Amino acid sequence: MIFYRPFQRPLALTFDLDDTLYDNRPILQKAEQGMLDFLHLHYAATRATDLAFWRTIKWQALAEQPELHNDMGELRRVELRRGLMQCGYTGSELEQAIVATFDDFYNKRSQFNVDKNICSLLAALATKLPLVAITNGNVDLTKIGIANYFQFSLHASLTQPMKPQGAMFELAARRLGLAPQDILHIGDNLYNDVLGALQAGYQSAWYAANRTMRLTQEPVLLLPHVQLQDLNELLQLL
């Protein structure tokens, strides 16, 4: 591990999920292909669409409603509504298609298990101090097998904006009953996680599960308190 700032032993840990505890990109790619397959199978009018069509719909929605960045679930529903309407669906058929497709996508998006070594680490950490999940995404912690390690989880939403904004950090500190400086946030993104944590008064640890960690290849605004080479180093910090 590499220390960049003075560090004190934390009284609680908050974790980012995607790309911190697992590599999220192949999971999301598989889920999006699964969504397209589901649409083609059940809604014939969508069979001329491809992933590029749906991504264009999504970016158009974000351009018109930037606040949707804060809620991946709502963004997906808006994407489905717009795309299905373009394909000619209306009324109750449209509403049923949105619900069925979203539910299938959400199930596929959470259709994996976190590595057993990460689960063992979370179990060991949870015996020492409280753990909280803070994510900009919408993965189902129960389905991926890690919900029991966390006292609670916070997901970004329209009313609870995504990191690096401070809403979820502030809420976590209140619910834990701790001063922000007594909490260590662990995440892969130097903007969303490290900058967000530092602005909220937390300590921060940088760790990425999906790439080689080189500061020269990252958009660095502020340095974390500590850079981890392996998540198991958290046990040494405690």
Please tell me the predicted confidence (pLDDT) of residue 220. 81
Give one DSSP letter per residue of 130-151, joined into a string: -EEEEESS---TTTTT-GGG-S
Thinking of the domain 26-109, which architecture would CATH place it in?
Up-down Bundle (1.20)
How many beta carbons lie within 10 A of that of residue 11, not counting itself?
15
Query: What stretches in the chain show pLDDT beneath 50?
Result: none
Please tell me the predicted confidence (pLDDT) of residue 5. 96
**Spatial CB neighbours of 45, under 8 Å, sequence gap ≥ 6:** 87, 88, 89
Please tell me the predicted confidence (pLDDT) of residue 163. 97
Domain boundaries, the chain: 2-22+113-237, 26-109
Please tell me the predicted confidence (pLDDT) of residue 216. 86
**Which residue reads 């991926």 in tokens?**
144
Could you give the angle at which helices 72-86 and 51-64 cross, rounded to 10 degrees? 120
**Spatial CB neighbours of 167, under 8 Å, sequence gap ≥ 6:** 160, 161
CATH class of 2-22+113-237: alpha beta
Please tell me the predicted confidence (pLDDT) of residue 221. 83
Please tell me the predicted confidence (pLDDT) of residue 56. 97
CA gyration radius, the chain: 19
Within 149-238, residue ranges assigned H as helices are 167-176, 196-199, 233-237
pLDDT, tens digit (0-9, with 9 covering 90-100), for 17-69? 999 999 999 999 999 999 999 999 999 999 999 999 999 999 999 999 999 99
Please tell me the predicted confidence (pLDDT) of residue 60. 96
CA dist 150 and 100 (Å) reads 29
* Domain 2-22+113-237 identical in fold to domain 26-109: no
Please tell me the predicted confidence (pLDDT) of residue 17. 97
